[in-house]
Amino acid sequence: MYILGLSCFYHDAAACLIKNNKIIAAAEEERFTRKKHDTSFPINAIEYCLKEANITSKELNYIAFYEKPLLKLERLMSQHSEMFPKSYWSFYKAIPSWLTEKLRIQYLIRRKLKYKSEIFFIDHHKSHAASSYLVSPFKQAAIFTCDGVGEWNTTTLGYGKNNKIKIKKELHFPHSIGLLYSTVTTFLGFRANGGEGKVMGLAAYGNSNKYYKKFRKIIDIKEDGSYFLDMAYFVYHYKLKMFGDKFVQLFGQPRKHDEKLTKKHQDIAAALQKITEEVILKSLNYLYSITKSKNLCYAGGVALNSVINGKILQDTPFKRIFIQPAASDAGSAMGAALYAYNSILKNKKRFLLKNAYLGPSFSKKEIKTFLNKKNVNYTEFEDDKELLKKTAQLINKNKIIAWFQGRMEFGPRALGNRSILANPCNQKMKDILNLKVKHREPFRPFAPVITYENMKEYFEGNYEVPYMLHVFKIKRDKIKKIPAAAHVDGSGRLQTIKKHQNKRYYDLIKEFQKLSGVPILLNTSFNVRGEPIVCNPEDALNCMINTGIDYLVFENILVEKNKNLHLISK
């Protein structure tokens, strides 16, 4: 049985294909179109998934869509009619996409894929819930979902047992901690649905005390974690912007995107992070009280807030937590397919997600053919040991390595298959990467990846975090050893790696440890600001040529930039 899961039209469009209970492939549309957070119908991602399974769309048994468009339209009509005539322009701008795409999704699916079988439409937050719980190692778990908004829901508390998911409590639009975070993101001069991670990083530089009380004026938080926004401060429910005049009166003038960041901006970010943590942690403590489960599954865009994630087990009674790597809407394509298979069609056998490597891969032959066609000078290694030894030596000498191997990761984090790797021991490396490679804001940190058995030696955390979705404090006596991996508050957004999860990646870290004494590498996604993570060899080569990357490793092939300067003029 083949089921295709789809998400699109809002942000992070994606496709996921399952065969019986196994995930065959999953990828975001942006990786193929090179358009960051691409919202369009994910035809390229679909074609990849079908190719990976060696089937055509005619062989699909079911398609599952990640939300219910009619219910979402009901919410849109309700909010705009309530706010009319102030909502006229926003409604006028929104309706065309509904008439041409969003309401016609069934027609689009059937036409573009020549598909005639059944299509399931899954509630948005159930897609989120399924994307975490149904691939988790738990037979029963509390389930928490939190994002901007689905159809009506913005936050849900639920419980999963075997293949059944039950929502026990839900909060509705316009009250949304996710939309509050996005509102402040735009106020600080960044883009919604993309800039929230920047605000999270900026928060570590600020003091939350100055603006915390101001945030408490606009959000009423109950002891059970439920919350209500004072909508007098917001206009996102009837305009094409997010904050209103009253918000500006409270916090001052918004920052322009090219304006210098000040202490004020840092302090606002810090207060926002604090208020968001308060909501999430209170909600989770209440969720535990009504489920009594020690296991937690968590999904939705807010689940990408790795600072909060790192505090969950220490500040709630939960003992184990599972967050899948594509926690936002991209992962809902996976959740929709799995919900259809396990919950609607009642198939008992579930899939255990063991890694995020669900995207395209390229054979050594394909890579060599591409490099030869482009007249690239390269060195091919017959033995992985020699390649890893050479690469570790280069990193130890402060060279920046682009690392391309195996199947591309699903989700926003590079986890060792489409990564840029560097020396965490060099205090200047963070600034070098931000300025010469990533072309991004200097305040943004980089993630340390560590072999799992060495984790407790360097970090305060004590559990496996393979998807780089948790921030932990670095032990004080270790910060001097890995200064480039430490954020301003002495923390790191950590990835742990075990040998069986990614052998070549793991072995490279061990080779670096032999030279430096440190079982850690600096890892950031293989892309520059404003572009998606690279997908294919051409993306990878272009990224190296146009940045300060020194070397590019393609499987067992090493490409040195200085020996390929002739490519820059082209």
Question: How large is the average pLDDT for residues 171-194?
Answer: 97
Tens digits of residue pLDDT in 503-523: 999 999 999 999 999 999 999
Q: Are residues 499 and 535 in the same domain?
A: yes
Q: For residue 158, is it within any domain?
A: no
> Which of 480, 115, 58, 127 shows the shortest CA–CA distance to 327?
127
Q: Are residues 274 and 381 in the same domain?
A: no
Q: Are residues 299 and 218 in the same domain?
A: yes
Q: Are residues 290 and 384 in the same domain?
A: no
Q: For residue 155, is it within any domain?
A: no
Q: Is 97 or 377 the better-scoring residue by pLDDT?
A: 377
H/E stretch holding 473 reads strand 470-473
Residue 538: how many other CB atoms lie within 10 Å:
12
Under the banding of pLDDT at 50, 70 and 90, the label for residue 77 is confident
Under the banding of pLDDT at 50, 70 and 90, the label for residue 223 is very high
CATH number for position 55:
3.30.420.40
- pLDDT value for 244: 97
CATH number for position 493:
3.90.870.20
Q: For residue 157, is it within any domain?
A: no
- pLDDT value for 87: 80
Range of the structural domain that residue 31 is part of: 2-135+324-344
Under the banding of pLDDT at 50, 70 and 90, the label for residue 476 is very high
Q: What is the total residue count of the chain? A: 570
- pLDDT value for 75: 86
Under the banding of pLDDT at 50, 70 and 90, the label for residue 463 is very high
Q: For residue 483, is it within any domain?
A: yes
Q: For residue 399, is it within any domain?
A: yes
Tens digits of residue pLDDT in 255-310: 999 999 999 999 999 999 999 999 999 999 999 999 999 999 999 999 999 999 99
Could you give the CA distance from residue 421 to residue 448 in angstroms, rounded to a whole number? 10
How do beta strands 491-497 and 447-451 pair? parallel
Q: Which of 100-109, 212-221, 554-563 has the lowest mean pLDDT?
A: 100-109
pLDDT above 60 for 570: no
Could you give the CA distance from residue 104 to residue 88 in angstroms, rounded to a whole number? 23
Residues 415, 567 contacting (CB under 8 angstroms): no
Show which of 322, 354, 378 is a domain's final residue.
Answer: 322
pLDDT above 70 for 491: yes
Q: For residue 349, is it within any domain?
A: no
Q: Are residues 313 and 191 in the same domain?
A: yes
- pLDDT value for 102: 85
- pLDDT value for 73: 86
Q: Are residues 336 and 459 in the same domain?
A: no
Tens digits of residue pLDDT in 153-172: 999 999 999 999 999 999 99
Q: How many domains does the chain have?
A: 3
> Which of 129, 122, 110, 90 shows the shortest CA–CA distance to 41?
110
Q: Are residues 389 and 535 in the same domain?
A: yes
Show which of 264, 290, 322 is a domain's final residue.
Answer: 322
- pLDDT value for 529: 87
Tens digits of residue pLDDT in 89-142: 787 788 888 878 888 999 999 999 999 999 999 999 999 999 999 999 999 999
Q: For residue 273, is it within any domain?
A: yes
Question: How large is the average pLDDT for residues 45-54?
Answer: 98
Q: For residue 141, is it within any domain?
A: no
pLDDT above 80 for 224: yes
Q: Are residues 423 and 545 in the same domain?
A: yes
Q: Are residues 419 and 504 in the same domain?
A: yes
- Read off the tokens for 55: 């089937």
Question: How large is the average pLDDT for residues 144-148?
Answer: 98
Show which of 291, 322, 353 is a domain's final residue.
Answer: 322
Q: Are residues 437 and 560 in the same domain?
A: yes
Could you give the CA distance from residue 89 to residue 97 in angstroms, rounded to a whole number? 14
H/E stretch holding 140 reads strand 140-146
Q: Are residues 306 and 382 in the same domain?
A: no
Q: Are residues 556 and 411 in the same domain?
A: yes
Under the banding of pLDDT at 50, 70 and 90, the label for residue 569 is low
